[in-house]
Amino acid sequence: MSYFDAASGAPLHPVARQALLASLDEGWADPARLYREGRKARMLLDAAREAVAEAVGCRADEVVFTSSGTRAVHTGVAGALAGRRRVGRHLIVSAVEHSSVLHSAEAFEAQGGAVSTVAVDRAGAVDPSAYAAALRQDTALACLQSANHEVGTVQPVGEVAEVCRAAGVPLLVDAAQSLGWGPVEGGWSLLAASAHKWGGPSGVGLLVVRKGVRFAAQGPLDERESGRAAGFENLPAIVAAAASLRAVRAEAAQEAVRLRELTERIRARVPELVPDVEVVGDAERRLPGIVTFSCLYVDGEALLHDLDREGFSVSSGSSCTSSTLTPSHVLKAMGVLSEGNVRVSLPPGVSAAEVQRFLDVLPGTVAGVREKLGAPAPATVVRAEELVVDSLGKRCPIPVIELAKVIGDVPVGGTVRVLSDDEAARLDIPAWCEMRGQEYVGEEPAERGTAYVVRRVS
The residues carrying an active-site annotation are 320
Q: Which stretches of 216-329 are assigned E, i.e. beta strand?
A: 277-280, 290-295, 312-313
Return the closest-CA partner of residue 95 out of 408, 291, 336. Answer: 336
Tally Cβ neighbours within 10 Å of residue 68. Answer: 17
Identity at 211, one-letter amino acid code: K
Give helix then strand counts, H and E, for the chain: 12, 17
CA angle 152, 77, 128 (to 5 degrees): 50
Contact 29, 37 (CB under 8 A): yes
Minimal CA–CA distance to 84: which of 164, 138, 163, 133? 138
- For residue 14, say if its preceding peptide bond is cis, omega within 30 degrees of 0: no
Report the distance separating Cα 48 and Cα 332, nearest Å.
Answer: 39
In terms of DSSP H, where are the helices of 407-444?
425-436
Extended strands (E) in 184-322: 190-194, 205-209, 277-280, 290-295, 312-313
Strand residue runs (E) in 151-241: 171-174, 190-194, 205-209
DSSP characters for 349-364?
T--HHHHHHHHHHHHH
Q: Shortest CA distance to 240 belongs to which of 51, 61, 54, 59?
A: 51
One-letter amino acid at 402 equals: E
Q: DSSP H helical segments within 312-397, as ranges?
A: 329-334, 352-373
C-alpha triplet 327, 330, 333: angle, nearest 5°: 90
